[in-house]
Amino acid sequence: MTVDEQEACPCLRQTSPWVCRFAHLVPASGLIIDVACGRGRHSRYFLERGHPVIGVDRDISGLAELRGRAGFEAVEVDLEGGKPWPFEGRQFAGIVVSNYLYRPLLPILVASLAPTGALINETFARGNERFARPRNPDHLLKAGELYEAVRGKLCVVAYEHGEVREPRSAVMQRIVAVNQGGEAVAPKLA
Band (pLDDT 50/70/90 cuts) for residue 147 is very high
| Phi/psi of residue 92, nearest 5 degrees | -125, 140
DSSP string, 48-103: HTT--EEEEES--GGGTTTTTSTTEEEEE--TTSSPPPTTTT--EEEEEEES---G
Tell me the mean pLDDT in the region 100-112. Answer: 96
Helices (H) and strands (E) in the chain, counts: 5, 7
Per domain, the residue ranges of the chain are: 3-78+88-178
Q: pLDDT tens digits for 12-67?
A: 468 999 999 999 999 999 999 999 999 999 999 999 999 999 999 999 999 999 98
Tell me the mean pLDDT in the region 133-153. Answer: 94
Pairing state between β 155-164 and 53-57: unpaired
CATH architecture of 3-78+88-178: 3-Layer(aba) Sandwich (3.40)
- The whole-number pLDDT of residue 189 equals 56
